[in-house]
Amino acid sequence: MKKTFGILACTILTFSLFAQGRILTVRADAIKEEGTFNIIADALKVARFGDEINIQEGLYHEQGLMVPDGVTLTGIGSVTIAGELPADVSTEISDNTSTIDLFHNGNLRNLTVTARNMRYPVHSDFSNGNTIQEIENCRFIHYGNHEMYQYRLSNNVASPNGVNDVFRAQSAWGGGTKAGDKRYFSNCYFESPVRAFSVHNNVDFHLTYGASFTSLENCVMISHGTDLNGDKLGFTVPVHIQSLQSNSPDKIILKDCDINGYLCFQNSPTFEVFCNTPCLKTIFNTAGASKQMKPLSAQAKQNLSFYVKNPTEILNLKNTGKQIIRRGQAIKRHKRGIALMTSCDNRKQFMGLAMQDIEPGQSGDVKYRGYLLRDYFRGLENLQLIDGQQVGVDEKGNFRISERGKVALVSVHQNILIFDKSKNR
């Protein structure tokens, strides 16, 4: 699996995606002349495929910036594009306004993009498929929609502009891919009250260009886990992944990223997800709606063959025992490989949990440390667990709540921490 992760990560493009075009310049104090503009919106109106817009150092209060196909926005020096709408803005305008709309081929470089009382700093969606975007050395910050919420609450504003109509799942990056789309992020920062980085696929990719691909390397995702009214949600959503039926092996790679807490999945996952950030927890659907928070559900049960491929927490090991090891059962060290573990074995032999059925003589993935949802643990899948309960192994090799022979510990939101006994290899 380490080899697979490396191959996928190395597919990041290192060359210019677009043919050489014109250089347009934006400078806040510029006198408008050919090729030079004092606002970004004016430069975008004349930009065409292959053009690069160099934005000179400064603070630009603009929003609704639609980037034409094949255009690059580059910050020269410290450049901030600050999108902000007033607190009394209507739902229709707020829901449909982002600071930047990047729907086609395009690049963003060396920019800070912010949003307040609107949808996203960057909305990347609605392509026609088979597009490429490169995002480098950028910062995306959503300052939240709480001012709009408070205005409506204080003034008792009715629907469709009421408190329950405020866009709730604020994201620093709101992304959607179509068939064949490729998205490459490097050295970027995402921060939001709720969702820092959010992405979804779409349906029936197999009918046109095939799978989509999203790669993030050396990025930071910070979610404050704060609702519109200022209350803490009890979880963070630094990465939010929504799965639709693309019928293609879409891939998401998170390589060397700083992610504060959780991976949030909306719907049963259809992506392949590779991530080497250790100790991430998982939640399903709790941040999965724009106007409401959906409760934690049993979405994991719908696709237990899915799991995040994390080379820092998963090993591929050979079953050197005589019994098949079923997915979700406990595993012990055995000879130069592994075998089914039962309550008769010393807990020091514990090596983790099987992520797939492993026949004798065959190899399979073993989760040997980190967090995993309850549904993946055979024997615990139908129990409502309590934070702090200890987990042991029964006589059949399944897991049970037990004060003796503990090999794992129940954490919040039905995540279970597997004790790292890799030194027993």
pLDDT in tens, 164-223: 999 999 999 999 999 999 999 999 999 999 999 999 999 999 999 999 999 999 999 999
Residue where one domain finishes, among candidates 260, 276, 303: 303
CA–CA separation, 47 and 65 (whole Å): 12
Q: What is the mean pLDDT of the chain?
A: 93
Residues 278 and 328 in one domain: no
Structure confidence at residue 395 as a pLDDT band (50, 70, 90): very high
Measured in Å, how far apart are the chain's first and last C-alpha atoms? Answer: 18
Tokens standing for residue 271 = 């992506």
Structure confidence at residue 14 as a pLDDT band (50, 70, 90): very low
pLDDT at 287: 80
In this model, does residue 288 exceed pLDDT 80? no
The total number of residues shown for the chain amounts to: 425
Range with the poorest average pLDDT among 27-31, 76-80, 146-150 = 27-31
298-338, pLDDT tens digit by residue? Answer: 788 888 999 999 999 999 999 999 999 999 999 999 999 99
CA–CA separation, 8 and 82 (whole Å): 34
Residues 210 and 276 in one domain: yes
* Cβ atoms of 250 and 215 closer than 8 Å: no
Q: What share of the chain has pLDDT > 90, as a percent?
A: 84
Please give the tally of structural domains in the chain. 2
Domain span at 77: 2-303
CA diameter of the chain: 82
In this model, does residue 8 exceed pLDDT 50? no
Nearest to 330 by CA among 350, 360, 300: 350
Residues 73 and 165 in one domain: yes
Tokens standing for residue 255 = 């390589």
Question: Is the N-terminal amide bond of 160 cis, ω within 30° of 0?
Answer: yes
Residue where one domain finishes, among candidates 279, 303, 327: 303
In this model, does residue 19 exceed pLDDT 70? no
Structural domain contains residue 310:
no
